[in-house]
Chain A
Amino acid sequence: MSILVTHESRVLIQGITGSFGARHARLSLDYGTKVVAGVTPGKGGQIFENQVPIFDTVEEAVRETGATVSAIFVPPPFAADAILEGVGAGLDLVVAITEGIPVIDMMRVKAAMKGSKTRLIGPNCPGLVTPGSGEKSHGGCRIGIAPGYIHKKGTIGVVSRSGTLTYEAVWQLTSRGYGQSTCVGIGGDPINGTSHLEVLQMFNDDPDTEAIIMIGEIGGDAEEEAAAWASEFCKKPIAAFIAGVTAPEGRRMGHAGAIVSGGKGTAAGKIAALKAAGIAVAETPADIADTLIRRLK
């Protein structure tokens, strides 16, 4: 098993005809992911690369193809609408890759999603990968922009706010022979759909996940919240890394959500909270996988 998606998941891509969406739709197909539909308003009836039917609306795509998951590659001004279209069509999961969505739009999206059955991952995230059992993890479910080949099917769950730092950790695991159950990028924005804590809970309940890597960064208190829960309820070993020890206060470090303000959200505070919860914290980004492996031995 895995969390959120399996190799059977039927995926649609909102914004499949844009260059960014098209490129990653192609890479997901090449990885063996079941990309069953694309959605671009006004382009319904066309076929993406002679392979994937395009629809005008998410609702129609769901009805015609049985898609249950969406990846959003729509530009920021239209992304909130695209997310809510996915929610309105009753999808199980919407993964918003788009970077740069206005914070007030996301605030309204979250409020509008209350009580719906849809889970949102992101925005401003690399998406998620449940590796497959083929060569270089082929045959898995790749939703978003992560490189598929760095993965390996296995039992480590990975959750992170950062893209390339996730690839770094995943590659360290794979190079050392440790595969992953699912790797989830929850995104670098101040308001996101799914938190560290919620992903930890899913990994905790997933019989095929044996250990967890959690990657955080400065800003907010999602890591502290996850640590407090884990110290009491998480049955599985966790290793963590927090980026931004050297980040100056009051500056946004690339990600909209990565900011220390009023002395809150510092890396030092997060590291202390994680350690207090019994979580092994990697000292450097080069040591993320080894920190977990040491804990497993």
Chain B
Amino acid sequence: MNIHEYQARELFAEFGVATQPGEVAHTAQEARIIADRLAGKIVVKAQIHAGGRGKGTFTSGFKGGVHLCQSPEEAEDVASNMLGQVLVTHQTGPEGKEVSKVFVGSAVDISRELYVAILIDRALSAPVVIASTEGGVEIETVAEKSPEKILRISVNPFLGLMPYQARLIAISLGLTGPLLNQASKLFTNLYRLFIERDCSMVEVNPLVVTKEGTLLALDAKFAFDDNSLFRQPSIWGMRDITEEDPREVEASRHGLNYIGLEGEIACLVNGAGLAMATMDIIQHAGGTPANFLDVGGGATREQVSAAFRIILADSRVKGILVNIFGGIMDCDVIAKGIVEAAKESGLSIPLVVRLEGNNVEAGKKTLAESGLKLESGENILDAAIKIVNAVKKSA
């Protein structure tokens, strides 16, 4: 799960991580009131879950999702140009994202830009802190061009980030003198936030030293461990479903694991590994997968119906491949679910079904006698080739 920048700042405030003062505004008038209160130079930032906002363009023609303003009136004007408009950045895709909130904050005079992140190192099974003097740049770029500028410190899961480790990170970033204490406090609190809110990643980029000599977490990206959301109600409350693919939101309501892609052939599979492998084999057979969809180990008839509805709501979809290995599930029950869902949805595009496993003969018989125009695949490859050919023929 991801959150907005203004929500990240709320978390920073809660955990004592120094950040720039500011608030979220839902209307241009609110933006002016906040700017008035903050005084001085103001920055107005569109709130969407995508990077590259500063260089983005609104479909209205208004340029930039991040603006520096000299007065509350200017902040109001900029906010009115952003709110309700669609912002396109290199991460949103050409359709862009509608902006319904802006962050209004005090502008910061930056003297240095740094980078710090915490994530879980899978190989070490421990958190690691990553720091670099190259702030404002993507860490992957730094890793490629100057890996010696990246410091990695692994943390003992029981001890947490030790004060000496926080100081080591600070000193590696050149944060000495009066900045050393500020920095070690910031890193310690950031680590506490990471653990107590079950983050899978928090990236502060840039972490800045202002001209006045203050250390601030200026922009941040958070990712949370979905497995932990049951015990993080405040984080769950920050979910913004307007930022998510509506097909994925609908799927999650039915306990389905769905990820929308750009291709033409939809797939419905049981098991995540097999679902990925089915997408791969569609491509291998010369087609393009429209989605990842795992109906899980014990898919019910209702889930299969919901899966069909979600798949068919996508106008890009030109054919469907169902691939089920019914290890313990009864293939005939699955076959009946497929037939019912296909009939219910008034299916008009090619459907290929590959069933294997428990009671498979009965399942195949149910499919064959359904009166539906569907083909059976002997194995996954055969099924993939059949659906790719059927889609080509119907095009």
- Asked, given contacts A107-B120, A254-B276, whether A263 binds B231 with beta carbons under 8 Å apart, the answer is no
Q: Which residues of A contact B78 (CB under 8 A)?
A: none
Please determine whether A147 and B358 come into contact, CB atoms closer than 8 angstroms: yes
Bound CA–CA A255/B296 (angstroms): 11
- Asked, given contacts A77-B231, A102-B231, whether A217 binds B125 with beta carbons under 8 Å apart, the answer is no
Bound CA–CA A100/B198 (angstroms): 13
Q: Which residues of A contact B157 (CB under 8 A)?
A: 104, 107-108, 111
Bound CA–CA A252/B275 (angstroms): 12
The verdict on B349 contacting chain A, using a C-beta distance below 8 Å, is no
- Which of A5-13, A65-73, A164-172, A201-209 is the contact stretch? A164-172
Please determine whether B227 and A101 come into contact, CB atoms closer than 8 angstroms: yes
The verdict on A84 contacting chain B, using a C-beta distance below 8 Å, is no
- Which of A43-51, A54-62, A243-251 is the contact stretch? A243-251
- CB within 8 A of A243: which of B123, B270, B277? B277
Please determine whether B274 and A164 come into contact, CB atoms closer than 8 angstroms: yes
Bound CA–CA A82/B158 (angstroms): 19
Please determine whether A263 and B140 come into contact, CB atoms closer than 8 angstroms: yes
The verdict on A285 contacting chain B, using a C-beta distance below 8 Å, is yes
Q: Which residues of A contact B39 (CB under 8 A)?
A: none
- Asked, given contacts A164-B270, A262-B139, A286-B381, whether A254 binds B294 with beta carbons under 8 Å apart, the answer is yes
- Asked, given contacts A190-B120, A218-B276, A241-B277, whether A150 binds B327 with beta carbons under 8 Å apart, the answer is yes
Bound CA–CA A150/B140 (angstroms): 44
Q: How far is the CB of B223 from chain A (nearest CB, A)?
A: 9
Bound CA–CA A102/B221 (angstroms): 20
Please determine whether A191 and B328 come into contact, CB atoms closer than 8 angstroms: no
Q: Which residues of B contact A245 (CB under 8 A)?
A: 280, 283
- Which of A34-42, A155-163, A228-236, A273-281 is the contact stretch? A155-163
- CB within 8 A of B259: which of A160, A168, A251? A251
The verdict on A140 contacting chain B, using a C-beta distance below 8 Å, is no
Please determine whether B327 and A162 come into contact, CB atoms closer than 8 angstroms: no
Which residue of chain A is the closest to B274 with respect to CB atoms?
A: A164
- CB within 8 A of A284: which of B125, B139, B272, B281? B281
The verdict on A106 contacting chain B, using a C-beta distance below 8 Å, is yes
Bound CA–CA A110/B231 (angstroms): 21
Please determine whether B283 and A253 come into contact, CB atoms closer than 8 angstroms: no
A220-231 vs B: 1/0 string, CB under 8 Å? 110001000000
* Chain B 247-299 interface residues, beta-carbon cutoff 8 Å to A: 257, 259, 261, 269-284, 289, 292, 294, 297
Q: Which residues of B contact A87 (CB under 8 A)?
A: none
- CB within 8 A of B276: which of A168, A190, A244? A244
- CB within 8 A of B228: which of A104, A111, A162, A263? A104
Which residue of chain B is the closest to A247 with respect to CB atoms?
A: B276
Bound CA–CA A190/B228 (angstroms): 14
Q: Which residues of B contact A104 (CB under 8 A)?
A: 120, 157, 195, 198, 225, 228
The verdict on A103 contacting chain B, using a C-beta distance below 8 Å, is yes
Which residue of chain A is the closest to B269 with respect to CB atoms?
A: A164
Bound CA–CA A77/B270 (angstroms): 25
Please determine whether B381 and A103 come into contact, CB atoms closer than 8 angstroms: no
Bound CA–CA A101/B122 (angstroms): 15
The verdict on A215 contacting chain B, using a C-beta distance below 8 Å, is yes
Which residue of chain A is the closest to B270 with respect to CB atoms?
A: A164
Please determine whether B272 and A162 come into contact, CB atoms closer than 8 angstroms: yes
* Chain B 286-325 interface residues, beta-carbon cutoff 8 Å to A: 289, 292, 294, 297, 325
The verdict on A183 contacting chain B, using a C-beta distance below 8 Å, is no
Q: How far is the CB of B379 from chain A (nearest CB, A)?
A: 5
- CB within 8 A of B273: which of A160, A262, A284? A160
Please determine whether A103 and B325 come into contact, CB atoms closer than 8 angstroms: no
Please determine whether A164 and B325 come into contact, CB atoms closer than 8 angstroms: yes
- Asked, given contacts A162-B274, A167-B357, A252-B226, whether A191 binds B259 with beta carbons under 8 Å apart, the answer is no
Q: Which residues of A contact B230 (CB under 8 A)?
A: 76-77
Which residue of chain A is the closest to B289 with respect to CB atoms?
A: A246
The verdict on A258 contacting chain B, using a C-beta distance below 8 Å, is yes
> Which of A149, A168, A215, A252 has the most C-beta atoms of chain B within 10 angstroms of its own C-beta?
A168
* Chain B 89-117 interface residues, beta-carbon cutoff 8 Å to A: none
Which residue of chain A is the closest to B201 with respect to CB atoms?
A: A261
Bound CA–CA A27/B273 (angstroms): 23
- Asked, given contacts A103-B120, A247-B279, whether A167 binds B125 with beta carbons under 8 Å apart, the answer is no
Q: Which residues of A contact B273 (CB under 8 A)?
A: 160-166, 188, 215, 217, 243, 254-255, 258
Q: Which residues of B contact A217 (CB under 8 A)?
A: 273, 276
Q: Which residues of A contact B325 (CB under 8 A)?
A: 164, 167-168, 171
The verdict on B356 contacting chain A, using a C-beta distance below 8 Å, is yes
Bound CA–CA A285/B284 (angstroms): 11
Please determine whether B156 and A150 come into contact, CB atoms closer than 8 angstroms: no
> Which of A76, A77, A221, A254 has the most C-beta atoms of chain B within 10 angstroms of its own C-beta?
A254
The verdict on B22 contacting chain A, using a C-beta distance below 8 Å, is no
B35-66 vs A: 1/0 string, CB under 8 Å? 00000000000000000000000000000000
Q: Which residues of A contact B328 (CB under 8 A)?
A: 27, 145, 147
Please determine whether B281 and A103 come into contact, CB atoms closer than 8 angstroms: no
Bound CA–CA A220/B122 (angstroms): 7
The verdict on B127 contacting chain A, using a C-beta distance below 8 Å, is yes
Q: Which residues of A contact B279 (CB under 8 A)?
A: 246-247
Bound CA–CA A263/B143 (angstroms): 12
Which residue of chain A is the closest to B279 with respect to CB atoms?
A: A246
Q: Can you sample 29 A-B contacts with CB below 8 Å?
A: A77-B231, A103-B228, A104-B157, A106-B125, A146-B327, A147-B327, A147-B358, A161-B273, A164-B269, A164-B325, A165-B274, A165-B277, A167-B357, A168-B274, A168-B277, A171-B357, A188-B273, A191-B120, A243-B273, A244-B276, A246-B283, A254-B272, A254-B273, A254-B275, A254-B276, A256-B226, A257-B122, A284-B281, A286-B380
Beyond A164-B271, A252-B226, list 14 extra A-B contacts (CB 8 Å): A103-B120, A104-B120, A111-B157, A168-B325, A168-B380, A171-B356, A215-B273, A243-B273, A243-B274, A246-B276, A253-B272, A254-B275, A284-B381, A286-B380
* CB-CB nearest 7 A-B residue pairs: A162-B273, A254-B272, A164-B271, A147-B327, A165-B273, A286-B381, A285-B277
